[in-house]
């Protein structure tokens, strides 16, 4: 009976989100797939409950202190920055899980059944908000009532919208209808969904709020608050660790300001997406890039490539920038055409498996950004 209900829900979801040609749009797929997975998870947990069993192993977030002895609080985060912030604040007092695996592409992530169960069993759940987390709200609203504390990063700071700056594909004079650069130069553009298109809102909230160290400090403050709410016995420790970490963030902020104040130029050029809006705004930097931070289309038009190549020459920048983990083809093509080199500026959205194993942190990657900007802005 449970699985019959699940199948009916899956078919209903499928019918609601199919377009006229029978295809599932990419944006709606990010919302529909987790909803279907959640239905399966809820059916599974309901079945276990009827059978008198439990879906939670000993020591999981479902256990309470009353069930025997002290336990660490369970914290689940969607991406790396809050994961790292919790590590700094909670230390060994929390079991922390990051849903996005190191090295995984952030914009194509979809939660697994295990991920959804981890959220359901957690004491604290921290997520970003914004376009890539549309699935979260559906999952949270479908879960049974619990004492879980949630925090959305976009609620911690004043947000801004993603913007289309001059030269970006889709900006004024650089329409989506133009030929892709790879089409013109004999390459092959990615085929997303067999020619499927999806409507993009021109007013998406920029979700990359942590890229400014000033914002990171505000986020850390709110993380301290939710950890203390879930675990009041350790609130004093969390407050002490937060203060110490915020002092490091203040020093990082000071270093960035010193670099910018003493730089020869104030412009960055990206052969990539641009998830650094908050960073650029904080330090008064101009930028040009191929796409906004959450763009699904990553094939530049010929006009965008020509614009960025000309802008590199005009500004005489010594390097073209790209994000970590992204394809370097666009940046490499611009660098080759202009006789410059390619440098990485870390957004910290995610990190490679090797960097994760080697203990890289938000602060260590941002410190690399300090050194990169010293070169790029001079």
What tens digit of pLDDT does each residue of 360-373 get? 999 999 999 999 99
Residue with tokens 């110490």: 244
Joined together, the tokens standing for residue 84 give: 């790292």
Domains annotated for the chain, with CATH where assigned, are 1-53 (no CATH), 181-188+253-376 (3.40.50.1980)
Burial of 156 (0-12, 13-18, 19+ CB in 10 A): buried
| Residue reference for tokens 């203990």 | 359
The confidence score (pLDDT) of residue 97 equals 97
Quick one: which of 365, 316, 358 has its CA closest to 340?
316
Q: What is the pLDDT of residue 143?
A: 82
What global pTM score does this model have? 0.78
Residue 120 CA to residue 125 CA, distance in Å, equals: 9
* pLDDT reported for residue 203: 58
Tokens 């009916």, residue?
Answer: 8
Query: What pLDDT is attached to residue 20?
Result: 41
Q: How far apart are CA 209 and CA 156, in angstroms?
A: 9
State how far the Cα of 225 lies from the Cα of 239, in Å rounded to an integer: 9
Residue 130 carries which DSSP code? S
Per-residue pLDDT at 27: 46
The pLDDT value recorded for residue 137 is 86
Distance CA 117, CA 61 (A): 10
User: What distance lies between CA 16 and its chain's CA centroid?
Assistant: 27
Q: Which portions of the chain are predicted below pLDDT 50?
A: 1-29, 31-33, 42-68, 172-201
Contact 370, 363 (CB under 8 A): no
DSSP code at position 140: H
């Amino acid at each position: 009976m449970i699985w019959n209900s699940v199948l009916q829900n899956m078919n209903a979801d499928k019918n609601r989100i199919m377009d006229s040609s029978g295809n599932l749009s990419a944006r709606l797929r990010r919302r529909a797939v987790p909803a279907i997975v959640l239905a399966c998870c809820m059916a599974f947990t309901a079945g276990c409950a009827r059978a008198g069993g439990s879906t939670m192993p000993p020591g999981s977030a479902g256990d309470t202190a009353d069930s025997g002895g002290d336990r660490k609080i369970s914290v689940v985060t969607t991406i790396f920055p809050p994961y790292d912030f919790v590590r700094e604040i909670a230390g060994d007092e929390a079991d922390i899980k990051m849903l996005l695996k190191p090295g995984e592409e952030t914009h194509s992530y979809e939660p697994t059944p295990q991920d959804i169960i981890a959220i359901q069993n957690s004491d604290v759940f921290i997520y970003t908000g914004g376009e890539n987390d549309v699935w979260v709200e559906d999952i949270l609203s479908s879960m049974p009532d619990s004492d879980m504390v949630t925090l959305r990063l976009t609620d911690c700071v004043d947000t801004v919208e993603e913007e289309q700056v001059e030269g970006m594909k889709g900006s004024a004079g650089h329409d989506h209808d133009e030929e892709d650069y790879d089409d013109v130069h004999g390459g092959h553009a990615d085929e997303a969904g067999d020619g499927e298109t999806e409507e993009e809102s021109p007013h998406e909230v920029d979700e990359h709020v942590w890229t400014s160290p000033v914002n990171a400090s505000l986020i850390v403050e709110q993380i301290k608050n939710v950890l203390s709410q879930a675990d009041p016995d350790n609130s004093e420790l969390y407050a002490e660790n937060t203060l110490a970490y915020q002092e490091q963030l203040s020093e990082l902020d000071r270093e960035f300001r010193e670099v910018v104040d003493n730089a020869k130029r104030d412009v960055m050029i990206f052969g990539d997406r641009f998830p650094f809006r908050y960073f650029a705004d904080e330090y008064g930097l101009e930028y040009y890039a191929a796409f906004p931070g959450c763009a699904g289309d990553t094939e530049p038009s010929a006009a965008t490539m020509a614009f960025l190549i000309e802008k590199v020459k005009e500004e005489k920048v010594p390097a073209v920038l790209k994000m970590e983990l992204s394809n370097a083809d666009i940046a490499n093509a611009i660098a080759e055409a202009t006789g410059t080199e390619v440098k990485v500026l870390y957004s910290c959205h995610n990190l490679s498996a090797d960097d994760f194993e080697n203990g890289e942190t938000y602060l260590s990657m941002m410190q690399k950004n300090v050194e990169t900007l010293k070169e790029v802005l001079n």
